[in-house]
Structure 1
Amino acid sequence: MTESNSNASVSSTSSLNSSFPDIEDDQTIASILAEDESSQVAGTLGKRLSHLDSIPHTPRVNGEIPDVNDATLDHERLSERLTTYGLEELQIEGDGNCQFRALADQLFRSPDYHKHVRKKIVKQLKHFRKSYEGYVPMKYRSYLKKMKKPGEWGDHLTLQAAADQFGAKICLVTSFRDTCYIEIMPKDKSPTRELWLSFWSEVHYNSLYANGDVPTRVARKKHWLF
C-alpha cells in the first residue's frame, strides 16, 4: 500500500454541506455538532452486535504491513465479516489520514474534520504522557512530533487517546484471523457515544454503518483501493 503525506496547507471542502467553510476551530465544530442531532445518536450498531465477544485492547504502535497475498486474504476475511454482521463501509481516502478521517466521520459526520481530530488526539497524548509513553518504543517527543504531521498513520495508541479525548467507545471490526472485534474504552470516564470503524489490519481504516445507512458523499480523490 502506498499512502503519501497530504499538504497541510491545502484547504478542504466539507462534503457533508458545501455551504460550510473550511474552518476547523473548536467553536465552529461545536456549533455544527450542536445543530446536528445525528451526532448524538450512539449505540445503534452496538445493540445489533451485542453478541460479539471483544478482547482486551492493548495500545500499540503499528506493526509490519502484510505482503500482498496476506493483505488480500485479510481483506476478504474482513469483507465476509462485515457481510455477516450487516455492516457497510464508508470508503475513506487512503492518504495516510484514514484513521483520523474515519474517526471524524463517526464524530462529526464528515471525514473532512480529520485535522481537528488529529490535533485533539495529539493534545491528549501530550498532556497525559504518563498514560501513554510506556507503549511507545521510541523517544516520546519524537513520537509526538511524528504524529502531528498530516499523513502520518494512526495506530492503536492514537485510538486509545481518541477514546479518552472524546469519551467514546471505539468499536473495531478487524481482519485479524483470531480477533474479529476489539472494543477500546475511555480509561477514566464512561463512554457517551460509540464510534464504529473497520480495520483492514495494518493497512486501512473505514467508517462503519448498518447496511443501507451509509451517507452519500462525493469523494474528493479517487479511493486508493480502486
Structure 2
Amino acid sequence: MYIKSKQLLKDVAQMALEVHHANEQQVRLGFSNVAGGIWLPRVIKKFISVDLLDQVTTTVADSEQLLVDLRQGKLDAAVFSTLVPERATDLRVSILEEHQMQVLANVNSPLSHLKTIRATDLQGVPIIARPKHALPRLALEQYCQRGHIQPKIVYEAATNALVEGLVAQNVGVGVVIADSVVLSDQVVGIPLAAQEQLHCYMQLAVRKSFLPNANQQRCIDVLRQIRRAN
C-alpha cells in the first residue's frame, strides 16, 4: 500500500504539471548532442517556414539526461540517438532516421584508399575518440570488441568537429556518425564493412502522459515530418 500510495502521489503531481502546461503555448523540445548537430538546423529552418519557431524552446543535452527530463515533465518531446532502438513503456518512441557509423581518415593515410573498413584495420592505428558515454565512443568500443582489438586512443575530442579537425591534421582516425560532420578536402569518410556495420537510430520520444493542446500537437506533428530531404 505504501509503494502504491507513493506512485499515486507521483502521478497526481505529474498530472498537475501536465494540466498547467496544457494552458501554455510553448512546446519544449530536447535534442541530444548528436541529434542536435544533425537535426537542429533542419528543425529551425522548418519551424521558421511554418511560422512556429516562436512557439518552440529547445534544449541540447546527452540522450540519457534528455530522457530523464522528459519523464520528469521538463520536456514535451525529445529527439535523441542510440545504437539500438529505445524500448520504454512510459514513452511513445518512433524512429525518425537511421544513420551508419563511419571512419574518418586523412587523405594521406593508407586507410583512405579502402572502400570499406574492418575493425582489424584499426589495430595499432592512432584514434581520436569522443569522451566516454558519447554515442560515437560507445560505437567505437563496441566495434573494437567485435573485432577483438584494443583501440589505440591518443586523444579524446569534445566534439565531432574537433575529431574531424584532428583527422585533417593527420593526428589519427576517428569514428563518427555519417552526416554528423562536414568533411574537409583532407578527410575522407570510409563506411564500415557491411558485416560489421553499426547504426545510429535518431528517435523521437513523447511522454505518454503528455496531452498536448492543439498548438503543441501541431509543433510535434511538424517535427515528425522533418526528414533528411528538408
TM-score by length of 2: 0.23
Q: TM-score, normalised by structure 1?
A: 0.23
Structure number with larger C-alpha Rg = 2
